[in-house]
Structure 1
């Protein structure tokens, strides 16, 4: 049980650790701490995921809890929507998201469709025990049924986003994940012509982790740059994240994408925005231009979801490509945002919109590096860092230090430096944002020099 460790988004591990025995232990802890049922137990396209989902359902039903399994592997946001829209007490999702094929995991989702908050995760983590044996079962056992979750979700999405995509060609890269046959189907239902890439299953994900970042989207970039499509979208393995490709920029930096999609969304339905501490200040300027505010949270979509609810925000997101929409889910949804992206492209080309925003609000560049740091050293390093905050960084005075998540140094020239612990790897993340790539590199180097001696 010591090998079951919950992080920022559930429990994730390599398959030598993420075993059926341990999955069943987690299932028992969920059964012991859940307030009633039934539950949705979803699963992604990894070869092991359906079996793990069945094991979770087996333990839950042994404890008298009814369970629903999807008819096929299903995106996390579809499972989250079922939890919010249906009769379910909560949901579990078997997925390792964008991790390599040798991983799997399980996410905890609340009845609102939001990621579980720490108190819920901690309740599961502190109640881990062996599942009840088969001979302990009685006539009160729950039932497992299968259900189509895609149809209701797609109907809802088409009703929520009033988009006529006729005449628009969208290239869609499923990265061999659970978005295949879902995101492309939604885009076609709205009238788009869809060029499909990697829309079949592959246990090795084509030899690269299913993470929709620039270096892994070469074919999608070529498809858009050669004019075969007007815009390109890609999902990660469980389709809760989105990557976007444009004709002029190729892979569109998620920070700039977030600012651009927020600009479009606030133009049609006003409201505040929510961003994580590692996400661009460009978003704040866009929100202010529309007469609204930006709210900052710690990294992790559970915090974004909570702040979206607290502030009735129109949109929330993070620089890693996860975005949520008011009136839909307090959770990230790469399927719905693919549709919103295509609709926004019809209103104004993303390249033109980004050009306009940068011309209005100033050039913004962001990057990050990682510093190796054992998990058991992270707290000590951050404690030591508190006493080492400099008065200036690369010639700019430190005007304020934000401690929402790690240490974020706000500099007098509008730049910032952030140091925070990774929630998934034995590393510290160092981020910087400024007005030029050259200055970002200099600030990152200063951040590394500040942190490395403390590890």
Structure 2
């Protein structure tokens, strides 16, 4: 039980630790939690494209059925957001998804999504962790059953309807979109919904490969070079590129002029686009650009800053009836949808935005109006058991200035965010999914960002080594 620890988005571990007996214990903990909460409806169990995921999903299914729950399964690996949507659409008790998201193939994981379709908050995960136990079984005549159902079409129906309601049109005829599934669960789902909306889709890495081509299914610039070449090549006649991570809850966008589009710039552009037809505040994490704040201020809207982790974004969306919520890692959702990040829905929304006006043009206009913003991040290796100590020690080491600029304010919502007098900032926080500390910086040019990141690294590394 001590090996099972729930982080930002469920439990992830290498396959040395992520074993069938431990997965069954998680299944029993969820079953007990649902019973204690009086939730007796069916449970969806999904899984990603990893070689071991189907087997782990079947183990969870056996445990949940043995505890009296009916289980709904997909016919193959499918994106995580489909199961979040199914919870609300079908009035399910919750869902379990076997996925390690963007982690390398030697990892796997399991996340629990409660009855509202939003990420589970810490009190829920603590309650499940407290109930970890060896599986139990009811008498055979009291056990549940498992069946395969279609999760794809109901989600696509809802997504296309929402895009049309939100933007005025979900018609993508005449648009050519290059889609990179990164061998993940978005293949056959994201490309299918884009085609259904009328787009011509050029697929990359849409074949199944449990090893993800030998890398991690993370839609970062270094992993999307072929997609960027395809979109920026005038001869290819591609209008836009989109990519999903391994379980397709995140989105990356590639444009003809910029290539890989920084997620912060996409977020700002999308919020600006949505405000053309609607109104409402925005929710962003502490690691997300202040450009969002400038867009909001131009429309007299509020900004709600939350710690990193989509669970906090989802909670704030509900608390403030936000128009959109997101994070700099490419996770977003919008009003009217389930409060879980959804890279499938956002792929259609990004294409609809681009069909109306090239995204590059919108970004150019925003930067002309609000000023240039550059952001980057690095990671510093730090064992999980040392993270809390390092962050505690950092409190006594906060400098008066960073890279020559005085610190104006210190935000402790998630780690330490040092806001500097020139409007730039430096953030140090522990990763919730990997044995690392994240160091983020934002400024008006790349050189300044590099200086800030170097200063952050010099600040943190001695504390890790100490």
1:24-43 paired onto structure 2 within 5 Å: 24-34=24-34, 35-43=39-47
Residue 364 of structure 1: how far off its partner (Å) = 0.6
Q: What is the SS of the residue equivalent to 1:267?
A: coil
Report what 1:333 is aligned to: 342
Maintained 8 Å contact 1:421/1:427: yes
Q: For 1:367 and 1:226, how far apart are their aligned partners in 2?
A: 26
Report what 1:178 is aligned to: 185
TM-score (norm 2): 0.95
- Is the aligned partner of 1:10 residue 2:14? no
Residue 182 of structure 1: how far off its partner (Å) = 0.9
Residue 374 of structure 1: how far off its partner (Å) = 2.1
Q: For 1:197 and 1:384, how far apart are their aligned partners in 2?
A: 45
**70, 75, 81: which one pairs with 2:79?**
75
Q: For 1:267 and 1:344, how far apart are their aligned partners in 2?
A: 11
Report what 1:360 is aligned to: 369
Q: For 2:330 and 2:100, how far apart are their aligned partners in 1?
A: 16
Report what 1:299 is aligned to: 308
The two structures, once aligned, show a CA RMSD in angstroms of: 1.2
State the 4+ residue runs in structure 1 displaced beyond 4 angstroms: none
Residue 376 of structure 1: how far off its partner (Å) = 2.1
Q: What is the SS of the residue equivalent to 2:455?
A: helix
Where in structure 2 are there 5+ consecutive unaligned residues?
165-169
1:325-404 paired onto structure 2 within 5 Å: 325-404=334-413
Report what 1:188 is aligned to: 195
Q: For 2:458 and 2:208, how far apart are their aligned partners in 1?
A: 44
Q: For 2:295 and 2:213, how far apart are their aligned partners in 1?
A: 38
Residue 394 of structure 1: how far off its partner (Å) = 2.0
Q: For 2:91 and 2:75, how far apart are their aligned partners in 1?
A: 18
Q: For 2:249 and 2:402, how far apart are their aligned partners in 1?
A: 36
Residue 377 of structure 1: how far off its partner (Å) = 2.0
Q: What is the SS of the residue equivalent to 1:423?
A: coil
- Is the aligned partner of 1:201 residue 2:203? no
Maintained 8 Å contact 1:63/1:137: no
Residue 266 of structure 1: how far off its partner (Å) = 1.6
- Is the aligned partner of 1:49 residue 2:53? yes
Report what 2:103 is aligned to: 99
Residue 262 of structure 1: how far off its partner (Å) = 1.2
Q: What is the SS of the residue equivalent to 1:328?
A: coil
**237, 242, 245: which one pairs with 1:236?**
245
**434, 442, 454: which one pairs with 1:445?**
454
Q: For 1:51 and 1:173, how far apart are their aligned partners in 2?
A: 26
Q: For 1:100 and 1:158, how far apart are their aligned partners in 2?
A: 31
Report what 1:23 is aligned to: 23
Greater shift in the superposed pair: 189-198 or 124-133: 124-133
Where in structure 1 are there 5+ consecutive unaligned residues?
none
Residue 428 of structure 1: how far off its partner (Å) = 1.5
Residue 271 of structure 1: how far off its partner (Å) = 0.9
Once the two structures are superposed, what CA deviation does each residue of 1:337-358 show, in whole Å capped at 9, x if it has no partner?
0000000001211111111111
Once the two structures are superposed, what CA deviation does each residue of 1:18-77 show, in whole Å capped at 9, x if it has no partner?
111111111011111113231111111222211111110110111111111112211101
Once the two structures are superposed, what CA deviation does each residue of 1:221-274 show, in whole Å capped at 9, x if it has no partner?
111111321000001111000011011111111111111111111212211111
Residue 99 of structure 1: how far off its partner (Å) = 1.1
Q: For 2:15 and 2:263, how far apart are their aligned partners in 1?
A: 30
Maintained 8 Å contact 1:417/1:447: yes
Report what 1:405 is aligned to: 414
> In the comparison of the two structures, how many residue pairs are matched?
453
Q: For 1:57 and 1:69, how far apart are their aligned partners in 2?
A: 9
Maintained 8 Å contact 1:364/1:436: yes
Q: For 2:139 and 2:248, how far apart are their aligned partners in 1?
A: 36
- Is the aligned partner of 1:318 residue 2:327? yes
Q: For 2:385 and 2:119, how far apart are their aligned partners in 1?
A: 25
Maintained 8 Å contact 1:267/1:290: no
Once the two structures are superposed, what CA deviation does each residue of 1:151-176 show, in whole Å capped at 9, x if it has no partner?
11111111111211111111111111
Greater shift in the superposed pair: 237-246 or 96-105: 96-105
Q: For 1:12 and 1:378, how far apart are their aligned partners in 2?
A: 17
Q: For 2:386 and 2:4, how far apart are their aligned partners in 1?
A: 19
Q: For 1:182 and 1:372, how far apart are their aligned partners in 2?
A: 35
Q: For 1:393 and 1:165, how far apart are their aligned partners in 2?
A: 47
Q: For 1:333 and 1:296, how far apart are their aligned partners in 2?
A: 20
Report what 1:259 is aligned to: 268
Q: What is the SS of the residue equivalent to 1:251?
A: strand
Residue 372 of structure 1: how far off its partner (Å) = 2.1
